[in-house]
Amino acid sequence: MAKELETELRLGLPGGGTEKNEKKRVFSEISEDDENGKVSNNNNEKKMQSKSQVVGWPPVCSYRKKNSFNDSKASKMYVKVSMDGAPFLRKIDLAMHKGYSDLAAALEKMFGEALRDADNCEFVPIYEDKDGDWMLAGDVPWEMFIESCKRLRVMKRADAQGFGVLRSRETLNATSKNE
Amino acid sequence: MMMIIVDEVIEHIFDFITSHKDRNSVSLVCKSWYKIERYSRQRVFIGNCYSISPERLIARFPGLKSLTLKGKPHFADFNLVPHDWGGFLDPWIKAFAKNRIGLEELRLKRMVVSDESLELLSKSFVNFKSLILVSCEGFTTDGLAAIAANCRNLRELDLQENEVDDHRGHWLSCFPESCTSLVSLNFACLKGEINLAALERLVARSPNLKSLRLNRSVPLDTLQKLLMRAPQLLDLGTGSYVHDPSSEAYNELKASIQKCKSIRSLSGFLEVAPRCMAAIYPICANLTFLNLSYAAGLHGNALTKLIQHCNKLQRLWILDCIGDKGLGVVASTCKELQELRVFPSDPYGAGNAAVTEEGLVLISAGCPKLNSLLYFCQQMTNAALITVAKNCPNFIRFRLCTLDPTKPDPVTNLPLDEGFGAIVQSCKGLKRLSLSGLLTDQVFLYIGMYAEQLEMLSIAFAGESDKGMLYVLNGCKKLRKLEIRDCPFGNAALLEDVGKYETMRSLWMSSCEVTLGACKTLAEKMPRLKVELINDSDQMEFNLDDDQKVEKMYLYRSVVGHREDAPEFVWIL
């Protein structure tokens, strides 16, 4: 009965609901069509070859350009991330992520090898909150989570059972799948 | 019996006439009124510093106390005017100092201001009270140190979006202990460190301080101390707004902010920790102006939650990462909204953070008092503009900028002529308009027909022929400033009615179809117009062929001769 279990970190809110970016995809399709098809009504097409090469467009004053775009000094929310079995800890900036799925992807990237090497294990993402309690990630809205999260731990599900952590629907489903 | 009103009485009546327009009108009535008006005039506005000379100004208004002076043309903001083009403050200060003008207030926009000018200013005018510099350049913190040290009665030092060379000196410490008169201090645009202790002491000894805008180097715990000293503030610009929300310092800040019940205007957040925004909530209900347009670190729920507390907001400046949904929150919360500015957070990006016509429609539906708009967006539709025009007929300023300058209506693939047409037809009080998107001559037909109050028009990558420009020049009787770039408007349009330009402040045309020959003709016919041809600053040679198209032309009316400070790459015909 050896099954190849895919270790999958799922941090969606209980009951599902992934963030949708469909509207933005629609936009990029539309603007691609425009770039290919439309005739611009003046003789300065060479200036329009690449949007970013048009001098002075969009018309934003240079002071503002220098001070408000892609602010690299935006607030950082670094927390330590430990993973059971990994030899050292990592740090991740929660502010860089838009939601749980985004975070899950980042953690997979970060611990990918360790996740794959672990034998038939499932992992559970937990975090230590302001009060010092260890919570299962995914229960509360993202904004609330990043405000209260002090550190993250990617824990083997097997270990989680003895840890008093609430079970999410995902882990429950996974358990029933195994049995 | 004939009643004679003596001059003193007339002068006293003129005291009540404060608007520049009215005073200008009054001075035209008769010689006697002209004389009385000019001796009693204290405030003067000069929209183009090259339209007159300092000497002429002083000769007419010897009692001058307050001057507003503007230098470079508007398109200089977008790097279309080479550095060193002009707009120098120096000759004005020198002339005022020499003639012992009792200058008290100086407000400058797009001027080149040197440290020497600032120092001369600080030493020459005993009653100098107020210095406001907007989008200026050429000075360093050394110049500010001179102002701080020497202006004994300084009330206002307001630096908005200037390029200042920060020498990290102690300019703030140069305010003497005896200086207790500050009402307004804004140094948000300075990049360097300042002496925090000196700032605290300065605020502590300024009981009249109403407006304080800090720069990035002022940390949150200093902000808390400043607010403790100045709970009477009306206008606050935070510096760095980053801290650990579970810390003692943050709790103290929360308490201090709550005491600032007079704050009506809030800005800054140049660095921001979204988790700390909750401290602001208690004062949000009092805010009439909120400027988050430099708060790149604030988006999503943290941003909308903040806005939800601001139900009295009249003016809102934000970044487009608020998104259409966020604008929906604004629309349902800010029923008093009059002015909205949505700036791009990522102008060359793939539209990850941008707003569309949907956000604007929501705003127009929720905020009927809206009269002023600056909106950078991913796209716009005619249907949306028509709806907006119906919902908000009170626009005075309507500036729309699609990130792709010639983007058509994405639903119909048509130009945006009908949409803008609806705006000008509906908004009878429209004074300022900026267009973008795919546009034909038709939009200009509408503008010429309906925009009767229009004073300023900005056009880019629009139109098909000279007809477009002619519709505007013939139709908009109140037009004062026209700026055009990258449009197929040429000599026929330029030369059709040369007298029109004397009724305007200025005309800018760049990358259009106008030739050198036509510019020469215009300059010959109209001696009181200055026609400047501007090359890029590394190109000193002017091509002398009359048929050659002119890259940049700036023309303005003037009552004095050619300016003598023009650099080599500027040719005044």
Residues of B in contact with A128 (CB under 8 A): none
Residues of B in contact with A48 (CB under 8 A): 405-406, 461
Rounded CA separation A27/B351 (Å): 8
Rounded CA separation B144/B164 (Å): 10
- Tell me which of B72, B75, B79 to substitute to probe the interface with A (most A C-beta atoms closer than 10 Å): B79
Cβ proximity of A122 and A156 under 8 Å: yes
Confidence of residue A25 (pLDDT cuts 50, 70, 90): very low
Span B200-214, pLDDT tens digits: 999 999 999 999 999
Rounded CA separation A140/A14 (Å): 9
Confidence of residue A98 (pLDDT cuts 50, 70, 90): low
Rounded CA separation B339/B367 (Å): 10
CB contact under 8 A, A75 and B242: yes
A114 in a structural domain: yes
Rounded CA separation B63/B102 (Å): 7
Element (H, E) at B271: strand B271-272
Selection from B460, B507, B459, B498 nearest residue B479 by Cα: B507
Interface of B with A in 202-261 (CB under 8 A): 242, 245-246
Rounded CA separation B407/B419 (Å): 13
CB contact under 8 A, A75 and B293: no
A135 in a structural domain: yes
A175 in a structural domain: no
A119 in a structural domain: yes
One-letter amino acid for residue B375 of the chain: Y
Q: For residue B305, what is the nearest residue in chain A, using CA coordinates? A: A143
Q: Tell me, yes or no, if B190 comes closer than 8 A to chain A by beta carbon.
A: no
| Pairing state between β A90-93 and A123-128 | unpaired
CB contact under 8 A, B461 and A38: no
A142 in a structural domain: yes
Asked casually if ipTM beats, i.e. exceeds, 0.85, the reply is yes
Selection from B196, B118, B192, B194 nearest residue B157 by Cα: B118
CB contact under 8 A, B351 and A28: yes
Cβ proximity of B535 and B559 under 8 Å: no
In B90-209, beta strands by DSSP E:
105-109, 130-134, 137-140, 156-160, 163-165, 184-186
**Domains of chain B and CATH, by start:** 1-41 (1.20.1280.50), 44-209 (3.80.10)
Q: CB-CB: which of B80, B347, B463 is closest to A55? A: B80
A6 in a structural domain: no
Q: Does residue A30 surpass a pLDDT of 80? A: no
CB contact under 8 A, B376 and A60: yes
B180 contacts: CB under 8 Å, gap ≥ 6: B205, B206, B207, B208
A56 in a structural domain: no
Sign of the Cα pseudo-torsion (A98, A99, A101, A107, in order): positive
Q: What is the pLDDT of residue A147?
A: 75
CB contact under 8 A, B485 and A41: no
Rounded CA separation B287/B237 (Å): 13
A64 in a structural domain: no
Q: Does residue A163 surpass a pLDDT of 60? A: no
- Tell me which of B83, B345, B461, B515 to substitute to probe the interface with A (most A C-beta atoms closer than 10 Å): B461
Rounded CA separation B291/B308 (Å): 15
Q: Tell me, yes or no, if B408 comes closer than 8 A to chain A by beta carbon.
A: yes
Which residues in chain B land under pLDDT 70?
Answer: 1-2, 347-353, 537-540
Rounded CA separation B277/B254 (Å): 10
Residue B9 C-alpha, separation from nearest chain A C-alpha, in angstroms: 47
CB contact under 8 A, A60 and B347: yes
Q: How many CB atoms lie within 10 A of CB B141?
A: 24
Residue A50 C-alpha, separation from nearest chain B C-alpha, in angstroms: 10
CA angle B389, B300, A72 (to 5 degrees): 110
Exposed, middle or buried: residue B29 (CB in 10 Å: 0-12, 13-18, 19+)?
A: exposed
CATH number at A88 reads 3.10.20.90
* Residue A109 domain boundaries: 78-159
Indicate the number of domains in chain A.
1
Q: Tell me, yes or no, if A49 comes closer than 8 A to chain B by beta carbon.
A: no
Q: What is the pLDDT of residue A169?
A: 45
Residues of A in contact with B297 (CB under 8 A): 71, 73-75, 95
Task: State residue B292 phi and psi, 5-degree precision.
Answer: -110, 25
Q: For residue B278, what is the nearest residue in chain A, using CA coordinates? A: A147
Q: Tell me, yes or no, if A36 comes closer than 8 A to chain B by beta carbon.
A: no
What value does the mean pLDDT of chain A take? Answer: 64
Q: What is the pLDDT of residue B214?
A: 96
Rounded CA separation B48/B481 (Å): 11
Tokens of A169: 């629907």
Q: pTM for the whole thing?
A: 0.79
Selection from B213, B205, B250 nearest residue B233 by Cα: B213
